[in-house]
Structure 1
Amino acid sequence: MKNIAIYPGTFDPITFGHIDVIKKALKFVDKVVVAISDGNQKNFLFPIDERVDIVKKALFSDLKFTKKNIDVITFNSLTTDLCKKYKSNIILRGLRAVSDFEYEFQLAGMNRKLYNKIETIFLMSDVENQIISSRFVKEIAQHNGDLKKFTTKSTIKSLKERYA
């Protein structure tokens, strides 16, 4: 039986912090399902279909990850329902700073209450990527700053096109 982890997020856009979490997870799971949320709580820079395309280009074209270990999907349901659909009992979450922990701790508890077979695994990105957030990447892009240390080439191209 395959060990599958669900990595939910908005990925608006994907950053090296997200990518670190995926790399680390692939050391102990057989497959990571990058689940891109189309929830209505946020105003997204990129629509869902573009976010999927950006994530796929970053992972498979820029970084040459193998498609057999990673699926990129969209969802607009509870993460626990997605776990049931993919027969996964692992939710991956990235932690950047202590400030992330309280929200993530509550979310993990709620997910566990919704589906008691779920384990949330928290992973930290490498030190040089812990400060990166999609929000900051978008702000830097909006002001035509240098994004090379924060995300992949194809993602930078998409950001520049959006803010042109």
Structure 2
Amino acid sequence: MRVGLYPGTFDPITLGHTDIIRRACTLVDRLVIGVAINRDKGPMFTLEDRVSMIEAECAPMAAETGVEIEVHPFENLLIDCATDVGASVIIRGLRAVSDFEYEFQMVGMNRAMNDQIETVFLMADAHHQAIASRLVKEIARLGGDIRPFVPPAVASALKDRLG
């Protein structure tokens, strides 16, 4: 069984994330969505909220693709999380060249710590290349329409959170 790990903060999950998740399902038998607990980032949504939103968005994909999708919070090193969940591949989404520079460094460090785990990059679909959770939150904070960027339930949760 090929296990993949798709890590991120997912604060909140966007259509860009769901696009990568759907496409990652074609590469693995089991996909673990690793929800990073990063206290330094000060997420808008609690860990429980983020996990719940991801589970709600992924359940239909799991049923449709037949791939087991599990949501797994983690606070340790990414490479250690991959080992913990039995992943042989880390899935990363790329939007732009600037993403690649950071990810290139991460791959080098991860391979130095465990060269048995590969990293696979999936380019964001052209329709989703500009989407970033940080920008979605800013648009929502300023009263903009975020419906083109996030699933409907997430748009509603953001609206509720911001009042």
TM category (shorter chain) comes to over 0.9
Instruction: Determine the structure 2 residue equivalent to 1:156.
Output: 155
Q: 2:61 aligned with 1:65, yes or no? A: yes
Whether the 8 Å CA contact 1:5–1:88 is kept in 2: the answer is: yes
After TM superposition, the score normalised by the length of structure 1 is: 0.93
Instruction: Determine the structure 2 residue equivalent to 1:49.
Output: 48
For 1:18 and 1:114, locate their aligned partners in 2 and report how far apart those are by CA, in whole Å: 26
Instruction: Determine the structure 2 residue equivalent to 1:29.
Output: 28
For 1:106 and 1:113, locate their aligned partners in 2 and report how far apart those are by CA, in whole Å: 11
Instruction: Determine the structure 1 residue equivalent to 2:19.
Output: 20
How far is the alpha carbon of 1:114 from its aligned partner? 0.9
After TM superposition, the score normalised by the length of structure 2 is: 0.93
How far is the alpha carbon of 1:59 from its aligned partner? 2.4
* Root mean square deviation, CA, Å: 1.2
Whether the 8 Å CA contact 1:54–1:158 is kept in 2: the answer is: no
For 1:98 and 1:78, locate their aligned partners in 2 and report how far apart those are by CA, in whole Å: 24
Q: 2:82 aligned with 1:86, yes or no? A: no
How far is the alpha carbon of 1:40 from its aligned partner? 2.4
Aligned ranges for residues 97-108 of structure 1 at < 5 Å? 97-108=96-107
Q: 2:64 aligned with 1:77, yes or no? A: no
For 1:66 and 1:7, locate their aligned partners in 2 and report how far apart those are by CA, in whole Å: 15
Read off the aligned partner of 1:108 and give its amino acid letter: V
For 1:41 and 1:117, locate their aligned partners in 2 and report how far apart those are by CA, in whole Å: 29
Q: 2:150 aligned with 1:147, yes or no? A: no
Identity %: 42
Point out where structure 1 has 5 or more consecutive residues left out of the alignment.
none
Residue 66 of structure 1 aligns to a residue in which SS?
helix
Whether the 8 Å CA contact 1:58–1:153 is kept in 2: the answer is: no
Point out where structure 2 has 5 or more consecutive residues left out of the alignment.
none
* Alignment size in residue pairs: 160
Instruction: Determine the structure 2 residue equivalent to 1:126.
Output: 125
1:21-50 Cα distance to aligned partner (Å, 9 max, x none): 111111121111000000223111111111
